Chains A and B, each alone.
Chain A
């Protein structure tokens, strides 16, 4: 069974992504975090099992950008693909900021099933 970590300050945003995952009908275990520090703690404890991270850029305590950069520095976490959920502007600038990180793509908010599947479908 695949395991994914969904990170967003908004419980609604996490709920919407969880619904998308469930809609695929695939057997996926879902972990959730509401800020960057909580997410990093889960990642450190579960690194061997997590197959995908879907995170918002805008997180409290530790931003999405910092989280990805920290993951990049960790031998066990740098292999995990990360999808960013964001509003959509300045993706090229964000990609440059995150060069070297395992950035697997972007999903624009609000997340729709079509946009979710286009970016995340192949990882489930």
Chain B
């Protein structure tokens, strides 16, 4: 269980470093920690389950501006010219890299990290599903040049 092995402070500090590095390496923009507004709710959630060396789930919630910035910067194309498949794949890969990289750094790169394939949870309106919040969801909010997104971690499997 991630929260039994590592304190919230350790996870938060590492997440800040890892996420900032990843947005820079993938999209050329550094991200900084912020407190997102209470009404920040992008609807969709992307997630990756970690199976080894311990079980946990990483989620990302991305504002439309953050999605656009990441995808356009990676593909070098305007949002309108990109196919849905490219957009989804890009944001799933982004989420997967954040999850796997954070766990790798937490374990000191000593152990291989086993993950599932990243997936999307659609919101209630889009999919007629109710998202049940995991009990121990820990959230960190970021801004990439004003584009908001959050990374969330829970110690169990993804709850859909």
Asked if A pairs with B, the answer is yes
State whether A90 touches B85 (Cβ < 8 A).
no
Partner of B112, one of A11, A12, A16, A94: A94
Can you name the residue of chain B whose Cβ is closest to the Cβ of A10? B93
Closest to A11 in B: B89
Give the chain B neighbours of A109 by CB distance below 8 A. 97, 100-101
- Cβ of A110 within 8 Å of any chain B Cβ, yes or no, is yes
Residue among A11, A15, A60, A89 facing the most chain B CB atoms (10 A cut-off):
A89
Q: A11-B86, A12-B89, A16-B74 are in contact. Are A90 and B111 (CB under 8 A)?
A: yes
Residues of chain A contacted by B93 (CB below 8 angstroms): 10, 12-13
Complex Cα spacing A89 to B115, Å = 12
Partner among A11, A60, A91 whose Cβ is within 8 Å of the Cβ of B85: A11
The answer to whether A88 touches B101 (Cβ under 8 A) is yes
Bound state CA distance, A13 and B109, in angstroms?
A: 21
Complexed CA–CA distance, A88 and B111 (Å): 9
Which listed residue, B25, B89, B109, B117, touches A90 by the CB 8 Å rule? B109
Q: Are A87 and B74 in contact (CB under 8 A)?
A: no
Interface string of A1-21 (1 = CB under 8 A from B): 000000001111101100000
Task: Indicate which residue in A10, A93, A112 contacts B92 across the interface (CB closer than 8 Å).
Answer: A10
Q: How far is the CA of A13 from the CA of B89 in the complex (A)?
A: 9
CB distance from A91 to the nearest CB of B (A): 8
Question: How many contacts between A and B, using CB within 8 angstroms?
Answer: 55
Give min CB distance, A25 to chain B, whole Å.
17
Contacts of B74 in A (CB 8 A): 12, 15-16
A90 touches B86 (CB 8 A): no
Beta-carbon contacts of B83-111 to A below 8 Å, as 1s and 0s?
Answer: 00110011011001100110110010111
Q: Is A98 an interface residue (CB 8 A)?
A: no
Is the Cβ of A110 less than 8 Å from the Cβ of B107?
no
Q: Smallest Cβ distance from A88 to chain B, in angstroms?
A: 5
**Once the chains bind, are A10 and B89 in contact (CB under 8 Å)?**
yes
CA distance A91 to B109 in the complex (A): 8
Q: How far is the CA of A91 from the CA of B110 in the complex (A)?
A: 8
